[in-house]
Amino acid sequence: MKIITPRNCRLAMMLAGMLLAGAAVAEPDGKSEPVAPKAKDHPLKEIWSGYHFQSEETRAQQDDADANPAMEHYKAGEKFWSKVAGKSKKSCSSCHGDAAKSMRGAGTRFPLYYPISKRMINVEDRINLCREKFMGAKPWDLGSKELLALSVFVKRQSLGARVTPQTSGPAANFFDKGKTFYTTRRGQLDMACTHCHDKYAGKKLRGLTLTQGQSNGYPAYRKTPGKTVSLGQQINACLIRVRAAPLAAGSEDLLNLETYLAWRGQGLPVETPAVRE
């Protein structure tokens, strides 16, 4: 771990001061419950979904499918699920049938270790692998509206199911790397993810309430910047805030970090697509 130098000490102290000035957020009215960590070395005493830290207005927006802006991606994803593409002239439903049945629980397990590539993959990767291998179609660009839409559709089939990440066996090494990334200082503010999301969750920063940084609601609609984003895009937004270099889409560092975040939120319900401020 880096030592704060005089050059960046002032910036880090300013941020810490803003965090300490905020008050903790009150419990939502019976709509959010904490999960007790299973691991003894978990950094949190209680695991809270980002839903817990949102305003009543934002929580109501997430709960109402007609008001949730991200549901437009769900509707688009539903169409992609049954759309024939590629040389094989197949759609997702050609192999998987009714998504409500075949995809139930799928969104709780990713990222997963993929033996062929010998690395972790997320839902977006799995969709593109299916397109290439079984549909004979070109993979969608990471960050594309098509991939985002189908990811939202697939993950929402697990709505309410509990996050059960893979972190042992061949995934253990990648999990450890993700933990190292999460706890390592970086950027001009010389801060790590753990400083905001473990130590200061519930505090105010420039009008926004810091959450525990849980991933159970992603892809999610962010009121700032006013669009639906993938988990990887949100991670990069955080890195930019501490003035660190963003990670390349689909990079191993990004997938490792997603793996660690899934472990931090083990037991939380899938909320995709969540709404966050």
Residues annotated as catalytic are 238
HEC profile for 12-46? HHHHHHHHHCCCCCCCCCCCCCCECCCCCCCCCCC
Count of Cβ atoms closer than 10 Å to residue 3 Cβ: 7
Which amino acid, 246?
P
Alpha carbon separation from 247 to 82, 96, 150, 255 (Å, rounded): 32, 32, 22, 10
**119-121 and 112-114 beta bridge pairing:** antiparallel
Q: Which residues on neighbouring strands pair with residue 112, listed in sequence order? A: 121
Contact between residue 8 and residue 190 where contact means Cβ atoms under 8 Å apart: yes
* Phi, psi at 228, each rounded to 5°: -85, 130
Half-sphere exposure (Cβ direction) of 1: Cα atoms closer than 13 Å? 12
Among 174, 201, 59, CA closest to 114: 174
